[in-house]
């Protein structure tokens, strides 16, 4: 693994002679129920990315700790940015990675809110219009086999995330609360949903376990490795 933040420029230059692939972890700073820390999304993305980077011997970039957090923004500890801010910032990062010599960039996001994902995808599209580079956008949740999850519709702070944290940082897991599934209107657009969110959980942490956490973690790592293989091997004509 080539840990970008700890390398000097001659080391990075030498490393680019071996690989031009980098993983960029993206997370969020937001509430994760009464039992998980606010940097859960970032930490999970970072640890999965680190494991994949070690196995593939590629670059690992410092993580982006902030994202678009609409549903949880009414809770203390949720620090959100807007769609346009995230889109512009990520676009600039992608262009700068390219200008620094990287050609293959995998964005691994541990936060998967709708506006968050839309901003990242738009940033990727705009960057591709300006530079020759290959970009993959991967959500951590998409890498977990749903058949291995007991909770139907499990999501934020639920079985999956709690299980992963029990493996990654068990010292930060404050119990396993009962599941909570906020009831939201099907079609209405609401200004604020804090009153519907209860304790901030959207899933069932009560069914979490370290054994599941290990299995989910390995699924995620293998999924990232497969995405890297696709990213590096996908045929395409180099543009000038």
* pLDDT tens sequence across 158-186: 999 999 999 999 999 999 999 999 998 98
3-state secondary structure 5-52: HHCCHHHHHHHHCCCCEEEEEECCECCECECECCCHHHHHHHHHHHHH
Alpha helices (H) along the chain: 9-16, 40-56, 83-99, 114-130, 159-168, 210-233
Q: What is the percent of the chain where pLDDT is above 90?
A: 92
All structural domains of the chain with their residue ranges: 2-233
DSSP type of residue 184: -
Q: Are strands 21-26 and 104-109 parallel, antiparallel or unpaired?
A: parallel
The CATH number of the structural domain formed by 2-233 is: 3.40.50.10310
Contacts of 212 (CB under 8 A, 6+ apart): 148, 159, 163
- H-helix or E-strand containing 182? none
Kindly report, residue by residue over 29-69, the tens digit of the pLDDT.
999 999 999 999 999 999 999 999 999 999 999 999 999 99
**Model confidence, pTM:** 0.95
Cross-sheet strand order for the sheet of 104-109: 2-3, 59-60, 21-26, 104-109, 134-139
């Amino acid at each position: 693994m080539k840990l970008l933040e700890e390398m000097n420029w001659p080391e990075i230059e030498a490393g680019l002679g071996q690989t031009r692939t980098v993983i960029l972890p993206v997370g969020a700073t937001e509430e994760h129920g009464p039992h998980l820390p606010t940097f859960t999304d970032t930490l999970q993305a970072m640890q999965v990315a680190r494991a994949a980077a070690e196995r593939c011997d590629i670059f690992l970039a410092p993580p982006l700790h902030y994202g678009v957090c609409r549903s949880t923004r009414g809770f203390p500890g949720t620090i959100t940015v807007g769609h346009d801010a995230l889109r512009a910032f990520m676009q600039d990062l992608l262009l700068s990675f390219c200008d620094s010599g990287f050609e293959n960039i995998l964005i691994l996001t541990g936060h998967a809110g709708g506006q968050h994902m839309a901003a990242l995808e738009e940033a990727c599209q705009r960057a591709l219009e300006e530079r020759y580079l290959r970009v993959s956008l991967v959500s951590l949740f998409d890498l977990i086999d749903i058949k291995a999850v007991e909770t139907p519709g499990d999501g934020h702070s639920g079985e999956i995330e709690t299980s992963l944290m029990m493996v990654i940082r068990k010292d930060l897991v404050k119990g396993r609360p009962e599941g909570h599934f906020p009831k939201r209107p099907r079609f209405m657009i609401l200004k604020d949903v804090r009153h519907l969110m209860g304790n901030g959980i959207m899933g069932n942490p009560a069914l979490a376990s370290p054994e599941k956490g290990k299995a989910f973690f390995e699924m995620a790592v293998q999924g990232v490795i497969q995405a890297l293989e696709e990213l590096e091997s996908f045929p395409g004509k180099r543009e000038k």
